[in-house]
A and B are shown apart, each in its own frame.
Chain A
Amino acid sequence: MNEITDIVMVGLVLTCLLLLGSSRLGAYIQIVAGQGVVTALVPLVMHGAEVGLQGIVVSAVTLVMKGIVFPRLLFRALYAAGVRREVEAYVSFPMSVLAGVAMLACAFWLSWRFGLGETVSGLAIPVALLMVLTGLFLIVSRVLALTQVVGYLTLENGIYLLSVVLVPQQLFVIEMGILLDAFVAVFVMGIMIFHISREFDHIDTQAMDELADWQRSGGEER
């Protein structure tokens, strides 16, 4: 069981690095969906035979949401927006991947300083913190609005993994709360992206830092 958890943790680290190094929007959505599915399966792997009905229900709902519903919503927003499915970044892709490794080093140091004690895998807390940091990095360093949603979802995956690993019994409230949070966010952001792209004909956040009618009316003298 420990071995499988270790395999899962190393796999999650590699998905984070893949997210940081990827430049295709379709790949972003698929990788974060895969990450969500793997994270949903971690409680089942951790608790093994003692998983109760509540655990199975929570894992199943999370799996369906993160593996099917969120990617569908995001792909629909992507096709409706009709943008070129390539991501531009403020930080170049090789530097993002190396920054991801630096973030992993930070995550190791942080979890050593937290001193939270033994969990199912020595790598679990650092990997969860890495996913949180990767999500934040993606939000800040990528240009398109859709990648900000993907970064937010990675952040939620990291928080979910941290709660699953640290809280010994599976608290229904915590996990359902995180899931509801993520669902509402994706739904609302999907609608927003559609409206943004219809208004501006693009979802490039670099061009969104001025009011549209300010630009049209020539603006004021500064």
Chain B
Amino acid sequence: MKMTEWLQSIVGLVLAPLMVGVIQRVKAWMGGRKGQPLLQCYYELWKLAQKGGVYSRASTWILRLGTVAVAGVLMMATLMVPVGGTRGVISFPGDVAAFVLLLGLARVLTVLGGLDTGSSFEGMGASREMLLGVLSEPVILLTFAVLVRWTAHASLAEVCEATRGAAWSSEWPVAVLLFAAVWVLLLMEAGRVPVDDPATHLELTMIHEVIVLDHSGPELALMQYAHALKMWVWSVICVNMVVPGLGAWWKDLVCGVGGVFGVAMGVGVIESSMARWRLNKLPHLGAGGLALVLLAFLIDMWRG
């Protein structure tokens, strides 16, 4: 039904900043503090949207267009992702490839916007962001290749429908390994500990925060919103294999959203218990994710 598709997409677009709030609250609770209000991200987006932007003299229209384009591309990706088995608004055969390319496009536009400001800090952040891309894109491509091969469907909605709750079925080895691999991808793409600490603002150690150092006002609001959307998208794909299907579409939607916030709490716990790794250890994480996906592929081929 069309209404359910629009409903679950709008749920994604609206609730993504709440994930950030949940992660911050979990971190504060684990540190013995009360922490920010859950809706803090929404207050910040509203505050930034009211302000005017300050642009460096070296920046051109690429910066302004780039931020709007990043938010638009990631909103499209959110419209494609099925929460709780309901297909998204944008869904067609072969849209798995379109999804991967949309995420890659978002990364390229972020980097271009950062480079356009002409500051060396953003250049450093851009090179680190591309390093993360080099490490995570083989894992992304292989994950979707394994999913497509495993379920013999080529559309993201159908793949997620077929693998829903697969971690509790007889195909659990492949499902659990893919869950772990997508969790690693979530940490790498959303820039969470151990890849990048979102709380640090020392230029030498930032990755994502440093690219948006010269963005201000509405541009900064769009980049923060896009970042939250990226986290939402990967959490939905991650939790899809673990949350079983319940029958009614609204029950599945509620369980799917609950699963996503469960993932947010897990990310918060990991962030509170680990420190960020040195940058030269990032290939270790990439290799670990790649090994998990390849394991899933081998086990799927052996069994199937």
Q: Is the CB of A98 within 8 A of B302?
A: no
Does A55 sit within 8 A of B, measured CB to CB?
no
Chain B hits for A71, CB < 8 A: none
- Classify the secondary structure of A's interface with B: helix
Q: Known contacts A10-B173, A101-B294; is A108 also within 8 Å of B287 by CB?
A: no
Q: Known contacts A21-B284, A93-B284, A94-B284; is A101 also within 8 Å of B299 by CB?
A: no
Does B288 sit within 8 A of A, measured CB to CB?
yes
Residue of A nearest to B285 (CB): A94
Q: Mark A123-156, 1 if CB is under 8 A from B, else 0.
A: 1001000000000000000000000000000000
Q: Is the CB of B286 within 8 A of A94?
A: yes
Does B291 sit within 8 A of A, measured CB to CB?
yes
Q: Is the CB of B173 within 8 A of A98?
A: no
Q: Is the CB of B298 within 8 A of A94?
A: no
Chain A hits for B176, CB < 8 A: 10
Q: Is the CB of B299 within 8 A of A123?
A: yes
For window 80-130 of A, CB contacts with B under 8 Å fall at 93-95, 97-98, 100-101, 104-105, 108, 122-123, 126
Q: Is the CB of A97 within 8 A of B287?
A: yes
Q: Known contacts A10-B173, A13-B295, A104-B295; is A123 also within 8 Å of B288 by CB?
A: no
Does A6 sit within 8 A of B, measured CB to CB?
yes
For window 248-304 of B, CB contacts with A under 8 Å fall at 283-284, 286-288, 290-291, 294-295, 298-299, 301-303
Q: Known contacts A10-B173, A101-B294; is A94 also within 8 Å of B302 by CB?
A: no
Docked pose: A122 CA to B290 CA in angstroms: 23
Docked pose: A217 CA to B16 CA in angstroms: 72
Interface size on A, residues (CB 8 A): 18
Interface size on B, residues (CB 8 A): 17
Q: Mark B155-186, 1 if CB is under 8 A from A, else 0.
A: 00000000000000000010011000000000
Chain A hits for B302, CB < 8 A: 108, 122-123, 126
Q: Is the CB of B295 within 8 A of A97?
A: no
Does A17 sit within 8 A of B, measured CB to CB?
yes
Q: How far is the CB of B290 from chain A (nearest CB, A)?
A: 7
Docked pose: A3 CA to B303 CA in angstroms: 14
Identify which of B283, B294, B295 contacts A94 (C-beta below 8 A): B283
Identify which of B177, B283, B286, B298 contacts A108 (C-beta below 8 A): B298
Q: Known contacts A10-B173, A122-B303; is A21 also within 8 Å of B298 by CB?
A: no
Chain A hits for B291, CB < 8 A: 17, 97-98, 100-101
Q: Known contacts A10-B173, A101-B294; is A21 also within 8 Å of B299 by CB?
A: no
Q: Top 10 A-B pairs ranked by shortest CB distance?
A: A94-B287, A101-B294, A97-B291, A97-B287, A94-B283, A101-B291, A10-B173, A94-B284, A108-B302, A104-B298
Q: A10-B177, A13-B295, A21-B287 are in contact. List 11 more A-B contacts (CB 8 A).
A: A93-B284, A93-B287, A94-B288, A97-B287, A97-B291, A98-B287, A101-B290, A101-B295, A101-B298, A104-B295, A123-B299
